[in-house]
Structure 1
């Protein structure tokens, strides 16, 4: 009898929360096939706030899928972008070279970001007035490019991303409609204080709505356990900064999606 009750309770809980629906999505930009990842909870029907996730420098993988699942559990419709192209999943040092292609060609970078955003926008579950983008490292740079480009979304969140722009692609006054949240490692050696200051100046002059939070003791990649635990290497996981930044994102979403 007890086993039957436990089984019934488990089934009821499963029905209440629904089940995650996950699928690989192929799409194209500039003749290149891209492979994204879509996840949502089927307990909810109809349109809902949606989130675009931009990957770090090794391309979309298990880390991004894990974050997408976490977001889906919060009720969001989530799409993980592929900036590089189907099957292009480099490891260091090749990943640095691949990321560099897009950082040095912001026009191409923005085209790939826009292609992913369009995939999310055209999904029947997406509430077009409630879209955000989040990104990690390379992806953190990417979401700021979306904001700079004037993308029609509610907000962006950059987790330990690069903050510098390039000539001709800086944020312009009156054109940044998305609210911006930057979550930064206070001692990140890859994003130096002058780069932070440059970001602040750029977005102030653009009259954008932005926030920047720096986490003490955190270096680059502070949300990623695969970065290891040695801050002296410049990239390392920081559990406190990881937890605090995720909560900051949730508070930000509550504001922009209200």
Structure 2
């Protein structure tokens, strides 16, 4: 992990959902629809970060879906105030934190939650930001479960830890939200995505954001006009994607 995974801004607003247990896992839940569900997989700031909950509220309101933000860090969260205090970042033991929240540790939890939600909802989508970007590809991969993908479509915003093999395995409609400046979703990975994902035979929407940086879609500066336009465009793009591949599939 690097500073790009911590830098950003905390947004104003009061989340409208509630905290509960879903399949023995802590979740923020917003909206109430038995048909369509969306799993939002958080960034380094975790499931309690106000920005991720405000995004979940937005998806629930715009799509009429039930939106889940699960805790995939085992109850540990970074204090949201640290986002505006870079001088404190050196105190974080991020290597140890990420070892405790590796793919091998959290991947099975994510898949278990998706399997459980499939028993409650007919259509399921997943969107991941930064840390959560690799996870949605695993949920939407052909090898995700015995019967293939565990969700019906995915969106990944400036993913971290995403590997070529995960992109090559994707088997559901996939959207990528890609800023120009991103040390985690590198130029090499962007080129691979543009070349290889279309070969998978699934609908593919590549959204490119010139001038913007890693983290903008979940931690963008609301006081900066360009970042505000970019993060709002990213929100609209995700809503449009889920509307097409989840909501339009109700019938």
Does TM, normalized by the shorter one, top 0.5?
yes
Contact 1:58 1:95 in 2 (8 A): no
Give the conservation status (yes or no) of the 8 Å contact 1:223–1:241. Answer: yes
Gaps of 5+ in 1: 1-19, 29-33, 231-236
Q: TM-score, normalised by structure 2?
A: 0.72
User: 1:114–1:68: structure 2 CA closer, same or farther, 3 Å change rule?
Assistant: same
Give the number of aligned pairs.
215
Tell me by how many angstroms 1:160 deviates: 1.7
1:207-249 CA distances to partner (integer Å, 9 max, x unpaired)?
A: 443221111111011123476879xxxxxx8111101111111
Hey, what does 1:144 align to over in structure 2? 137
Q: CA separation in 1, counterparts of 2:166 and 2:44?
A: 22
Are 1:184 and 1:213, in contact at CA under 8 Å, matched by a contact in 2?
Answer: yes
CA 1:170–1:69: 2 relative to 1, 3 Å:
closer
- Could you say what the CA RMSD is over the residues aligned between the two structures, in angstroms? 3.0
- In the superposition, the TM-score normalised over structure 1's length comes to 0.70
Paired residues for 1:69-108 under 5 Å: 69-74=57-62, 75-86=64-75, 88-90=76-78, 92=89, 94=92, 96-97=94-95, 100-101=98-99, 105-108=102-105
Moved over 4 A (4+): 225-230
Return the alpha-carbon distance in structure 2 between the equivalents of residues 181 and 119 of structure 1: 24
Name the residue aligned to 1:9.
none
The structure whose Rg is larger is 1
Could you list the per-position Cα deviations for residues 117-164 of structure 1 after superposition, in whole angstroms to 9, with x for gaps in the alignment?
Answer: 2343344xx2x2x21101111112221222233423221111122363
Give yes or no for the alignment of 1:58 onto 2:45: yes
Structure 2: give runs of 5+ residues left out of the alignment. 1-15, 80-88
1:222–1:238 CA contact under 8 A, matched in 2 = yes
CA distance, structure 2, for counterparts of residue 193 and residue 89 of structure 1: 30
Q: Distance in 1 between matches of 2:130 and 2:222?
A: 15
